[in-house]
Amino acid sequence: MTGVGIYDGDLLIVDRSLEPKTGHIVIMSVDGELTCKKLGTIGNRPYLIASNPEFRPIPLEGKECQVWGVVTHNIHSLAPGFSI
């Protein structure tokens, strides 16, 4: 998700109480796996969009999935090797 400024090892702040909207970065549970994606629409259909254009959008219709929470902030380490 480097396109939206999220890098490997970053710490995400997630708010479960927010209503997920198109354009939100969300944590989704897709087929039992927690994943971070951008919520988008293509036409009128909901899609999960990876910021890397190499990954194809995942259509949400007919998938066992649920928004887990909305990512509101990201904490990114500026000193390599340091984690929270």
Partner 1 sequence: MIALVDCNNFYVSCERVFNPKLEGKPVGVMSNNDGCVVARSAEIKQLGVAMGMPAHQIDPHVRRQCILLSSNYALYGDMSRRVTDVLSQHTPHVDVYSIDESFLSFEGFDPETLTERCQTMRHQVRRDTGIPVSVGLSTSKTLAKIANHRAKKESHFNGVAIMEPDSDDTRAFLEQLPVTEIWGVAGRSAVRLQTLGIETAWQLRIAAPKHLRKHFSVVMERIVYELRGQNCISLDDMTQPKKQIMVSRSFGRLTNNKADLHEAISVHTSRAGEKLRKQQGLAQAIMVFVRTNRFRQDLPSYSKSLVIPLSHPTDDSRELIRTAMAGLESIFKPGIMYQKCGVMLMDLCDNGNEQLGLLAEPVSDEKRERNEKLMATLDKLNREHGKNTVRLGIPRKANAWELRCEHRTPRYTTKWEELAVVKT
Evaluate whether 4 touches 46 at the Cβ level (below 8 Å): no
Determine the interface stretch with partner 1 among 9-17, 39-47, 74-82 (rule: CB under 8 A).
9-17
Contact between 71 and 12 under an 8 Å Cβ cutoff? The reply is yes
Alpha-carbon distance of 35 to 6, in angstroms, equals 13
Please identify, among the stretches 30-38, 39-47, 73-81, the one whose residues bind partner 1 according to the rule CB under 8 A: 30-38
Task: Kindly state whether residue 56 participates in binding partner 1, applying the rule CB under 8 A.
Answer: no
Residues within the interface to partner 1 (CB under 8 A): 1, 6, 11-12, 16-17, 27, 29, 32-37, 50-51, 66, 68, 84
